[in-house]
Structure 1
Amino acid sequence: MIDKYPIPTSCPYCCSAVIYTSNAVIYGREYGNGRCYKCTKCDAYVGVHNRTNIPLGRLANRELRELKKECHALFDPIWKQNKRIKREHAYERLAKVLGIPVNECHFGWFDKEMLLEAREILSRPDWYKG
């Protein structure tokens, strides 16, 4: 997945430069590992995996971040509150319904269209049971 989604250097929204910086520029203080990639012009950013410079997903503007949150709000309770389905199995089921490889089923890497499709699927009752 890292090869498919390289470290961002140019913003896909405004074409400005992207820098690797402290996430305090976003939140006012450092959270987590304290690092992120941030567009120098617009509000697009993405955090990184702990102790690496590897992005957690694609650079996201406000709209994309909100869609990711909506998907997680629908998805996470399925495996957190349902003891009969593990997180990995929930992702496997979602990948199958989306028609994508399970190793590509990660909200952080989804574009707007994929997030909209995932949100529609996740809004269906019992999507994970089939």
Structure 2
Amino acid sequence: MKERDAAEAAVKEAKEAEARSANALEEVTADPNKLNKVVEDLKNRVTILEEVTARATEAEMRAREATEARDSLTTSLNQLREDRDWMCDHGIRHIVGYVLDAPENATTVNELKERARRQGSTLVTISALPM
């Protein structure tokens, strides 16, 4: 009895499933326009997703390039600041010393020193700069 009841229940479930499938098939075949609309909508969504993905990829690439450019400019700025600080602290004195001590400038520098001494100018103190 139990087996017969179980078999009848299984047959009943199978018939219901068959009916549901038939109804679904009937709906699809009865209204192909609805199915076509769903397919078109899905295609449109895929197209939109592809466009959004392409734009996002391009934006990421531009952001990466901007970050690299910013880092490069920051590095250049830091180097310029270091160079400026060195020039302020050491460079000008060295440059003046090299100009004053250069053999090809010796005659001209001595003439300038002599003129400055005669006129009482402060040019003489340039040669006394510590190196």
Pairwise same-fold verdict (TM > 0.5): no
Name the TM-score, length of structure 2 as normaliser. Answer: 0.18
Larger Rg: 2
**Higher RCO, 1 vs 2 (CA within 8 Å, ≥6 residues apart):** 1
Structure with bigger strand share is 1
Structure with bigger helix share is 2
Name the TM-score, length of structure 1 as normaliser. Answer: 0.19
